[in-house]
């Protein structure tokens, strides 16, 4: 589906785009502050003086500057008048209630407001070849950072210090920023899937789970690796190898035509048979693009049929409170007969 099809299906005369990732996808503008007005007659980007110069360089849209004399509703009203637009679609999942109320009050020309839910987001589901290569470059930066952090981790280093080193390595290798807050969880902390790095010191015998990602030209990477600082004991090996088997099996079957639920079930069955079903509480994966958590997802609740060109993480995990946890995550591009794995870092158990 494209914008024209959305307009035809919903019967709207124009639409407003407020989600910053959709703004970038549709207009090329990277600033994230402002609003897009789109109709069959014009494509307009409204932003303030902090971004107008950059917007004109990055986008082919007509750029209008909002200020005290030309407020956003007034600029939108002029567009509506010129187009005779009376039915307007809006992104109800990103537009703040207070701003929507203001639009309804100050844009009397609009007779009907149509919530578009996630229809604009869906335009980003299939990644173009160019987008796929940007994702691959971002993931390669993560691979390079992981190789370096393995040389740096040592007993006595705090989780916060390890996170800082990992983030430095990503920036050093070309990342423009982080795609999410870095997770470094060691020892018992690794039983928390989204643990926040702390002043806890790394100790011998610890699981160290590292979930991290960066941005390259706006596109995100995402990978997780778990290592052991020192020698792994038998329980650690059992848990690690179960997660590894679950991930490899899921990677071996994922392809166009499967649903997210079906892929999730492949990995979940392995973990459940090993007796750790209650220790795998999250879904197997999610889509990645301009935003780190996109749709569709690999989860028990997602019946979306996967299509070639979608980018998905595959990240099973086992988390045992009071003991520790393991997660292994790769980022893949769905193909007709399988997937292209963008993550190259080794995943066999590493003992440092």
The model's pTM is 0.95
Q: Are residues 53 and 187 in the same domain?
A: no
**pLDDT digit string, tens, across residues 15-44:** 999 999 999 999 999 999 999 999 999 999
Given a cut of 90, whether residue 219 has pLDDT beyond it is: yes
Domain limit, last residue, from 78, 99, 122 = 122
Q: Are residues 154 and 258 in the same domain?
A: yes
**pLDDT value, residue 74:** 95
Q: How far apart are CA 264 and CA 153, in angstroms?
A: 32
Q: Are residues 196 and 278 in the same domain?
A: yes
Q: Count the domains in the chain.
A: 2
Mean pLDDT, rounded, for 299-328: 98
Residue 346 placed within a domain: no
Q: Are residues 97 and 75 in the same domain?
A: yes
Residue 350 placed within a domain: no
**pLDDT value, residue 7:** 85
Domain coverage including residue 113: 3-122
Domain limit, last residue, from 122, 147, 167 = 122
Which CATH number does the domain housing residue 36 bear? Answer: 3.40.350.10
**pLDDT value, residue 130:** 98
Mean pLDDT, rounded, for 347-352: 97
- For the chain, the average pLDDT equals 97
Q: Are residues 199 and 98 in the same domain?
A: no
Residue 351 placed within a domain: no
Q: How far apart are CA 2 and CA 193, in angstroms?
A: 36
Mean pLDDT, rounded, for 253-277: 98
Residue 142 placed within a domain: yes
**pLDDT value, residue 137:** 98
**pLDDT digit string, tens, across residues 88-126:** 999 999 999 999 999 999 999 999 999 999 999 999 999
Q: How far apart are CA 256 and CA 338, in angstroms?
A: 7
The three-state DSSP-derived secondary structure of the chain is CCHHHHHHHHCCCEEEECCHHHHHHHHCCCCCCCEEEEECCCEEEEECCCCHHHHHHHCCCEEEECCCCCCHHHHHHHHHHHHCCCEEEECCCCCCHHHHHHHHHHCCCCCEEEECCCHHHHCCCCCCHHHHHHHHHHHHHHHHHHHHHHHHCCCCCEHHHHHHHHHHHHHHCCCCEECCCCEEEEHHHHHCCCCCCCCCECCCCCEEEEEECEEECCEECCEEEEEECCCCCHHHHHHHHHHHHHHHHHHHHCCCCCEHHHHHHHHHHHHHHCCCHHHCCCCCEEECCCCCCEEEEECCCCCCECCCCCEEEECCEEEECCCEEEECEEEEEEECCEEEECCCCCCCCCEC
Mean pLDDT, rounded, for 244-264: 98
By percentage, how much of the chain surpasses pLDDT 90?
A: 96
**pLDDT digit string, tens, across residues 128-165:** 999 999 999 999 999 999 999 999 999 999 999 999 99
pLDDT range class, residue 308, cuts 50, 70, 90: very high
Q: How far apart are CA 278 and CA 191, in angstroms?
A: 12
Q: Are residues 291 and 334 in the same domain?
A: yes
Which CATH number does the domain housing residue 243 bear? Answer: 3.90.230.10
Residue 349 placed within a domain: no
Q: Are residues 203 and 330 in the same domain?
A: yes
Given a cut of 90, whether residue 5 has pLDDT beyond it is: no
Q: What is the distance, to the nearest Å, from the Cα of residue 252 to the centroid of all Cα atoms in its chain?
A: 23
311 and 288 Cβ atoms separated by less than 8 Å: yes
Residue 190 placed within a domain: yes
59-69 burial code (b ≥16 CB/10 A, e <16):
bebebbbbeee
**pLDDT value, residue 9:** 87
């Amino acid at each position: 589906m494209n914008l024209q099809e959305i307009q035809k299906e919903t019967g709207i005369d124009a639409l407003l785009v407020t989600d910053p990732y959709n703004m970038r996808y549709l207009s090329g503008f990277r600033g994230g502050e402002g609003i897009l007005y789109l109709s069959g007659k014009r494509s307009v980007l409204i932003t303030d003086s902090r971004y107008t110069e950059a917007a004109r360089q990055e986008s082919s849209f007509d750029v209008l500057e909002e200020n005290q004399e030309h407020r956003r509703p007034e600029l939108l009203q002029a567009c509506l008048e010129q187009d005779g637009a009376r039915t307007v679609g809006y992104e109800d999942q990103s537009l703040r209630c207070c701003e929507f109320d203001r639009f309804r009050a100050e844009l009397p020309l609009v007779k009907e407001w149509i919530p578009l839910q996630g229809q604009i987001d869906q335009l980003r589901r299939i990644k173009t070849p160019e987008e796929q290569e940007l994702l691959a470059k971002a993931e390669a930066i993560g691979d390079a950072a992981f190789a370096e952090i393995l040389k740096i981790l040592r007993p006595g280093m705090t989780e916060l210090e390890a996170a800082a080193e990992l983030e430095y390595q990503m920036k050093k290798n070309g990342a423009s920023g982080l795609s999410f807050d870095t997770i470094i969880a060691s020892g018992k902390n690794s039983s928390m899937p989204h643990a926040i790095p702390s002043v806890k010191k790394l100790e011998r015998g610890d699981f160290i789970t590292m979930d991290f990602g960066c941005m390259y030209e706006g596109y995100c990477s995402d990978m997780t690796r778990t290592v052991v600082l020192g020698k792994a004991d038998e329980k650690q090996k059992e848990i690690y190898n179960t997660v590894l088997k679950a991930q490899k099996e899921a990677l071996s079957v994922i392809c166009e035509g499967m649903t997210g639920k079906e892929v999730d079930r492949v990995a979940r069955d392995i973990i459940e048979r090993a007796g750790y079903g209650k220790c795998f509480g999250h879904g197997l994966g999610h889509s990645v693009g301009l935003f780190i958590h996109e749709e569709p997802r690999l989860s028990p609740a997602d019946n979306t049929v996967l299509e070639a060109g979608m980018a998905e993480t595959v990240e099973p995990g086992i988390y045992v409170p009071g003991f520790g946890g393991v997660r292994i995550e790769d980022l893949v591009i769905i193909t007709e007969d399988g997937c292209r794995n963008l993550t190259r870092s080794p995943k066999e158990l590493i003992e440092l």
